[in-house]
Amino acid sequence: MTAPRGRGRPRDPGTDTAILTAALELFVERGVEGTSMEQVAKRAGVGKLTLYRRWSSKEDLLAQAIEQGVRAEVTPPAADVHALAPRDIVERVLPAAAETAADPGFRALVARILGSAVSHPELMEIYWKHYILPRRELATVLLRRAQRDGTVAADADLDVIIDMMAGAVTYRVLQPDPPDTAEMLRYLRAVYRQAGLYPSRP
């Protein structure tokens, strides 16, 4: 939550971006406990007072930094979800998903968020709201379409299928020897095929 501000000069968006970027970098490198407002200010090139004028605590700052870091929209437009076959949609989104999943910075961010889930649950809530939920919603729409097409059983529990898909990808991404982008793309196609969303072309 951003701290309330009084009257004065308008905030500089460039300063906000520098602070949030520095905060996210430090969180990935050192975790919550290893990050301080002083360190963020130093890396961002601003005074510590500048941070406290914007955020009331380190946790508030990190929550917004994570929100900004995971907000990237990768889902297709709603019209495409209804107009295209699930396989065509999967083919469109998987290359970017594979690239993201294979990125060491993304892997480190996910590991830090999972590691702080108990001590700082608000960070997981941000990640869940802005990254996980939009992808679960898309997967649900695709699976319902696949049920109508007959590639997913009509009585299938869609939440369980989505959990299995997400769990498989998380397990593969966080293993000691994670796949590169090409291998991640192959693996994602296999996962989606097993779920009934990537059937062979007729």
Residues with Cβ < 8 Å from 1, sequence gap 6 or more?
Answer: 56, 60, 63
Which structural domains are found in the chain, ordered by start?
13-68 (1.10.10.60), 73-194 (1.10.357.10)
pTM for the model: 0.81
Q: What is the pLDDT of residues 145-173, one digit of tens each?
A: 889 989 999 999 999 999 999 999 999 99
Question: What amino acid occupies position 156?
Answer: A
Task: Give pLDDT, residue 24.
Answer: 96
Q: What is the pLDDT of residues 180-195, one digit of tens each?
A: 999 999 999 999 999 9
Cβ neighbour number for residue 138 with a 10 Å cutoff = 18
Parts of the chain with a pLDDT under 70: 1-11, 72-75, 77-79, 202
Three-state DSSP string of 122-162: HHHHHHHHHHHHHHHHHHHHHHHHHHHHCCCCCCCCHHHHH
Helix intervals (H) in the chain: 13-30, 37-44, 48-54, 58-70, 78-83, 86-102, 104-115, 121-127, 133-149, 158-173, 181-194
